A and B are shown apart, each in its own frame.
Chain A
């Protein structure tokens, strides 16, 4: 009797652990964190192009970008000629814009952060506030899907009560093995779908493979789209916090 009880107990234990190994879903926040880390690296530098597409016109902007963690960003515009040399710097909550031709430094107020960045479907906020994707939301796996052959988790982001975020809800498709963010749907506070985001064209960039092409499509605006391409990216490069200074803002090129 006694031995049977032990066996039952061991079986039950095995079943329990086995169950947790086989059946338990991975932690959603952990996936998001790993995917975000993969996309950003500890630090990065590179070249990007952004194309704003509207029904009757398109506009293309080229830039160099540097980042360290999620607190520090620097963006240097290389084209078009009229905007060339403009620099954006973000340190924690502060953001500046430097215009070299008039040697003018402007501190960007919060209201301007919500505005579209250089006419695109991104806001200043989208550009420099990636940190909130992990910390400002709670995450839940809501399903599975396959996109372009990649098996994905579908993760739902709900903003934490006091988080200063724009979206009411985000749904994101992250590939299970490679941790690529391949698709995202952005909803406003009333639950209405606002933006669709697609990432594709996986390429080797520096030490890792990542989708190199990204499209942001506003849902209720026919023919509107912003396309971003990573031309050249390096990750975990040797740049420190001191790179993201007002002094260096005037020197980078």
Chain B
């Protein structure tokens, strides 16, 4: 709460101080959207559950000198409707189930920068700061301190190398992705190579610290990383290049419990992907994920809300194997159609996500999409039902 008041004053000061500057030292961008969601758990004539979200994102960037950058990114959301009520009703009867406002306002970072302002049985209004950092650059050196996104992932679906802030693929409406509280140092050893190290602390005071070397060779980008993620030693590698004209990328990370090193076996999580774009713009993508600790049985997480919680590169899915395919086509540059799917070959459950994104005006877009989950009870995707979404988004 206090930090918000501080930020408010800080921003007010900022804008007044800088409004006189002719040079663009201060920059504001973001978006405002409304998202309508319908959730059908069983057959189409079973009771639909709906929820609406009004979502505003603001990014403030300040460039006081050539070598300094500050970035504040905040999200303000109002969720309301039946689904909020349903979750709140569950919370009353299911032990361990949090109410909706607690669920959405949980901050995974060391600092609690998420606040539920107001909530009732059917609504929650909350804010979350996912970027709050300063970046200092001198010569080839760059230091970033604060809440930031450290993106070490390469694959377009599953990122075992992304050990600092894991992202849930199904959360399509959060492209900016969460940040983490960290210190990130980068030294650019060449035009296309860098050595970087990062240190992160989370809400449980768990520490992730690692270093990575990136370079470009034979028209490929390569990266090697090593360090510690909470209780595990971590070793990883990744690449991005091409076979003939198709894009070809992959990443693999090996985790091994540090405290019980000799008693335990490690875990290997690896993803591989290829993509091809035809001259017409028709785009194909295939990806696969292997998780050595994943089950070959039913890989369900239980209820749908568990999907968002505490996912880490070790638990991108609970399955041994996952397959992904996507076909996208720009019907016109203003209308993009896209179908993607995930299949678990062991428990034979799957997901299909068709979407159409229409640019109505230069800064106004309309999205229709669905997430259709199928499978047996207890399987990876068997318990989620079908979700349909409609979004109107204004970017500024």
Contacts and interface: CB of A to CB of B under 8 A. Distances in A.
Interface stretch (A16-24, A76-84, A175-183): A76-84
Query: Which of B219, B248, B249, B275 counts the most chain A CB atoms within 10 A?
Result: B219
B378 interface: no
Interface string B38-77: 0000000000000000000001000100000000000000
A114 B277 contact: yes
A115 B192 CA distance: 24
Interface stretch (B106-114, B199-207, B291-299, B329-337): B329-337
Nearest to B335: A57
B363 A247 contact: no
A102 B177 contact: yes
Contact of A119 (B142, B246, B333): B333
Given A94-B216, A111-B278, A115-B281, A59 B333 contact: yes
B332 A94 contact: no
Interface residues of A, number: 41
Contacts of B151: 102-105
Contact of B330 (A109, A119, A245, A251): A119
A112 interface: yes
A93 B219 contact: yes
Interface string A49-82: 0001010010110000000000000000001111
B278 A94 contact: no
A118 interface: yes
Given A82-B395, A247-B140, A101 B59 contact: yes
Given A59-B362, A247-B188, A247-B194, A111 B245 contact: yes
Contacts of B362: 59-60, 79-81
B219 A94 contact: yes
B306 to A, nearest CB: 25
Contact of B245 (A104, A110, A123, A251): A110
A120 B240 CA distance: 26
Contacts of B240: 106-107
A246 interface: yes
Given A80-B363, A102-B151, A119-B330, 12 more contacts: A57-B332, A59-B334, A59-B359, A102-B175, A109-B247, A111-B247, A112-B277, A115-B279, A119-B332, A245-B188, A246-B191, A253-B63
Interface of A: 52, 54, 57, 59-60, 79-82, 84-85, 91, 93-94, 101-112, 114-116, 118-120, 123, 241-242, 244-247, 251, 253
